[in-house]
Structures are given as C-alpha cells and as structure tokens.
Amino acid sequence: MSTADEMEPISRPFRWNLLFAAWLMASVATLGALFFSEVMQRTPCVLCWYQRIFMFPLVFVLGAGLLPFDPRSVRYALPLAVTGWGFALYHCLLYMGFIPKSLQPCTQGLSCADVKLELFSFVTIPLLSLLAFTLIIALLWAVRKGIKQ
C-alpha cells in the first residue's frame, strides 16, 4: 500500500480520457436538447434557453482542448459548466416547488414550472440538465486537479 507522498498525478492519457468523457457528455446533452426541441417539437422555456447557452459552447471548447490535448481548456469550460449548473439547479428547484412560481423568469409564453416531460415519473428535462452539468463539472475538476491515484 502506498502513502500520500508516493502518489503521482494521473497520467496524461487518462486526463485526455476524462476530458473526452466531458466532451461526450456535453455532446449528448446538446443533441438531446436539439432532439426535444426540433424532433419532438417541445418549445424550450426561458430557463432551458439559458442552460443551452452554457451547454452548447462546451462542445466546441472541450473539443478544441482534445486535439491536441490541452488541459488548459478546462479554465474556459469550467465557468460555463458551473454557470449552467446554477441555472439547472434553479430550474429543478422551481419544478419541484421549492421556489415559488412568482419568482420564475417566464412571465410570457411557456411556464418554467410546468412539467412537460417525465421519464420514469420523476426524471425531468431540468433534472437531466442538472445531472449532465454535474458530471461535466466533476470530470473537468478531475482533469484540472490531476487527481492522484
């Protein structure tokens, strides 16, 4: 068994894999959002648009950091992911009723608090967004810190 002093940072190829996983998650989330709006004809609410504003550029920022591998791309991607996570958390809390509907930004058109789609009777679109941002943040944090093995 090794001590903390003997531990080394994770290898460069493993960090590339982590960054690739974050890019893949951002790509799947982007394609999912486009599928919901363009194929299923579900018009996004205001909070969904804000989450898209922070998710869609992650595909390009993380993709640019992959080839050639540049772990410094995390410094540009992490603020996007954290801000998107904040909007997703607010949207989830609004959906669940923890935030009063009077505080929702959707004053005209679609309501941000209306349940438009539920999978397995509890997984909503804002929850999917929150999970995607959470996973991306965790992966980016691992790349940034070079978590020790």
pLDDT tens readout for residues 75-120 = 999 999 999 999 999 988 888 888 877 776 665 556 555 656 555 5
In a domain, 67, yes or no: yes
In a domain, 20, yes or no: yes
Cα–Cα distance, 26 to 34 (Å, whole number): 12
Cα–Cα distance, 33 to 39 (Å, whole number): 10
In a domain, 74, yes or no: yes
In a domain, 70, yes or no: yes
Which percentage of the chain shows pLDDT scores above 90? 48
**For the chain, what is the domain count?**
1
In a domain, 107, yes or no: yes
In a domain, 149, yes or no: no
* Domain extent at residue 18: 9-144
> How many Cβ atoms are within 10 Å of 38's Cβ, its own excluded?
9
In a domain, 72, yes or no: yes
Q: Please state the pTM of the whole predicted model.
A: 0.83
